[in-house]
Amino acid sequence: MANALTIAGSDSVGGAGLQADLKAFEAVGIHGCSVITCVTSQNTRAVSSIFPLPLPVIASQLESVLEDVRLDAIKTGMLYSAEIVNLVSSRLRKVNTPIVVDPVMAATTGSSLHREGLVESLVTRLIPISTLVTPNLSEATKLSGVLIRDEKSVKKAALEILEMGPKAVLVKGGHLKGSTVRDYLFVGTRMTRFSSPRVDAEVHGTGCALASLIAGNLALGFELDEAVRMSKGMIYKAILAREMVGAGVPCANPLAVIRIEAGKAAMLGDLEAAGRELETIMDASLIPEVGSNMGYAVLGALEQDEVAAFDGRIVRIGQGARKVGCARFGASKHVARIVLSISSREPDKRCALNIKYSEENLDACKKAKLSVSSFDRRYEPKGVSSMTWGVYKAIEGIGSVPDVIFDRGGVGKEPMIRLVGQDPEDVLSKLKRIISKRKPR
């Protein structure tokens, strides 16, 4: 088993600090070791006290781990003071393993988590020996002296930090404006953007968990870019699965990725059951020429292989319907784009089914009192994904994710109606309402 070490403060409410770090290590399937630098008294509303452990106690913990455990990655979090930074950096200078530095300076609640002199010691002692530094915008500003307002100033600040000696810098752009959250990885002069939909919530422990997820994935042997990409998707899921532990801000849930993975088999079962029911209730008038398919995404899906669908679609057989093939993840690019676009706007809506476009079917959608929106392929820009662009236009048209999205087709494109819901059962219920409003055949 791969091993990773977190050197960080203890969070008494368990949402950040080394508690979050150990959950993140567990989430990627590695063993976590820990060195406690400070004991904080905090909850989801504020930090009431900080007790830095005596330097000999910190040194003793660190030496105990280093002399016995083969470490595949190290992550540092709340170090609090220049003295602790100096101690830690002097010991880590001799260690040949990836070091991820999260330059923690404040809690999500706004409370300060450092003493004067910390920044200078980070800059001169710890950052120069690190593999990756993961500052948020405020931390990047303090480290670089560059006031960050936009992507241009992000780059300027990152290049200043790179001059301090780390191999790479990941600037977390969560507080920049926009519906998408972008983090920026700089390796030399190369910049890579990693995006995820914005979640409109302050969440405790996201910075700690993200840095630890990256360290964990590095410990497993992934290259830096891939480790960041994977971890970005995992922290998005952790934010969506946030938990109201106390009366203040919710806590990120790094272990959500394990629960999501464990739930995939049940999702496939639900999709197969829906497929069998679709065979009994659909007829030729509901099945497009290209066939129907149902897509069902895991919570926080960002990639096609996180969306399950039927690998052979639902096709017309005579006047009836037949499910061809089995439900599996990554089976359909087309339906995956629809579901990913929908869930990026409203994460609880993770399922979609396409049916044949006809005026009768569209009229039945409206009679069933389902919310309906559309897009016009004539105005589709060049170089975009038709489905991603179309779904976003339909959502923009009514200000929320509708129950039904349709288009009247275009050159080489069949017109289509798409039903949207939370899960296969929800989508099936909407389809039954539509069927009930059609003229008897």
Residues 229 and 312 in one domain: no
Separation CA 406–CA 434 (nearest Å): 14
CATH (domain of 336): 3.40.225.10
Residues 126 and 192 in one domain: yes
Q: Which whole number is the average pLDDT over 118-132?
A: 96
Q: Is residue 108 pLDDT above 90, yes or no?
A: no
Residues 208 and 312 in one domain: no
Which among 363, 368, 361, 375 is positioned nearest to 421, based on CA atoms?
A: 368
The number of distinct structural domains making up the chain is: 2
Per cent of the chain over pLDDT 70 is 99
Separation CA 105–CA 118 (nearest Å): 9
Tens-digit pLDDT profile for residues 233-283: 999 999 999 999 999 999 999 999 999 999 999 999 999 999 999 999 999
Cβ atoms of residues 209 and 254 within 8 Å: yes
Strands 404-407, 416-421: pairing is antiparallel
Separation CA 103–CA 208 (nearest Å): 10
In what helix (H) or strand (E) does residue 141 lie, and over which residues does it extend? helix 137-144
Separation CA 377–CA 390 (nearest Å): 8
Residues in Cβ contact with 136 at an 8 Å cutoff, skipping those fewer than 6 apart: 171, 172, 174, 175, 207
Tens-digit pLDDT profile for residues 329-373: 999 999 999 999 999 999 999 999 999 999 999 999 999 999 999
Residues 321 and 407 in one domain: yes
364, β-bridge pairs: none
Asked which of 261, 281, 313 is the last residue of a domain, the reply is 261
Separation CA 177–CA 114 (nearest Å): 27
Tens-digit pLDDT profile for residues 282-314: 999 999 999 999 999 999 999 999 999 999 999
Separation CA 198–CA 180 (nearest Å): 5
Residues 375 and 296 in one domain: yes
Q: Which whole number is the average pLDDT over 147-176?
A: 93
Q: Which whole number is the average pLDDT over 419-441?
A: 94
> What is the b/e burial string over 163-186, where b = at least 16 CB atoms within 10 angstroms of the residue's CB?
ebebebbbbbbbebeeeebbbbbb
Residues 230 and 175 in one domain: yes
Q: Is residue 417 pLDDT above 80, yes or no?
A: yes
Separation CA 379–CA 399 (nearest Å): 19
Tens-digit pLDDT profile for residues 194-241: 999 999 889 999 999 999 999 999 999 999 999 999 999 999 999 999
User: DSSP states of 355-387 as a string?
Assistant: EE--HHHHHHHHHTT--EEE--GGGPPTTS-HH
Q: Is residue 115 pLDDT above 80, yes or no?
A: no
Cβ atoms of residues 160 and 153 within 8 Å: no
Q: Which whole number is the average pLDDT over 54-83?
A: 97
Q: Is residue 109 pLDDT above 80, yes or no?
A: no
Cβ atoms of residues 125 and 92 within 8 Å: no
Residues 271 and 232 in one domain: no
24, β-bridge pairs: none
Which among 298, 287, 411, 424 is positioned nearest to 354, based on CA atoms?
A: 287
What was the pLDDT predicted at 25? 98
Q: Is residue 178 pLDDT above 90, yes or no?
A: no
Residues 357 and 390 in one domain: yes
Q: Is residue 441 pLDDT above 70, yes or no?
A: no
For 222-363, strand residue ranges (E) read 294-297, 307-310, 314-317, 320-323, 327-329, 351-356
Q: Is residue 86 pLDDT above 90, yes or no?
A: yes
Asked which of 214, 232, 261 is the last residue of a domain, the reply is 261
Dihedral sign of CA atoms 19, 20, 25, 27 in order: positive
Residues 256 and 338 in one domain: no
pLDDT band at residue 383, thresholds of 50, 70 and 90?
A: confident
Q: Which of 83-92, 301-310, 432-441 has the lowest mean pLDDT?
A: 432-441
Cβ atoms of residues 371 and 404 within 8 Å: yes
Q: Is residue 131 pLDDT above 80, yes or no?
A: yes
CATH (domain of 74): 3.40.1190.20
Cβ atoms of residues 50 and 238 within 8 Å: no
Cα atoms in the 13 Å half-sphere on the side-chain side of 74: 26
Asked which of 261, 284, 309 is the last residue of a domain, the reply is 261
Which among 153, 166, 157, 155 is positioned nearest to 122, based on CA atoms?
A: 166
What was the pLDDT predicted at 189? 84
419, β-bridge pairs: 353, 404
168, β-bridge pairs: 132
Residues 205 and 307 in one domain: no
Separation CA 257–CA 236 (nearest Å): 10
∠ Cα 20 91 74 (to 5°): 30
Domain that holds residue 102: 3-261
Residues 16 and 156 in one domain: yes
Residues 257 and 269 in one domain: no
What was the pLDDT predicted at 113? 76
pLDDT band at residue 110, thresholds of 50, 70 and 90?
A: low
Higher per-residue pLDDT: 411 or 85 = 85
Structure tokens at 101: 């530095």
Structure tokens at 219: 């410990």
Give the number of residues written for the chain. 441
Cβ atoms of residues 36 and 18 within 8 Å: yes
Separation CA 136–CA 116 (nearest Å): 19
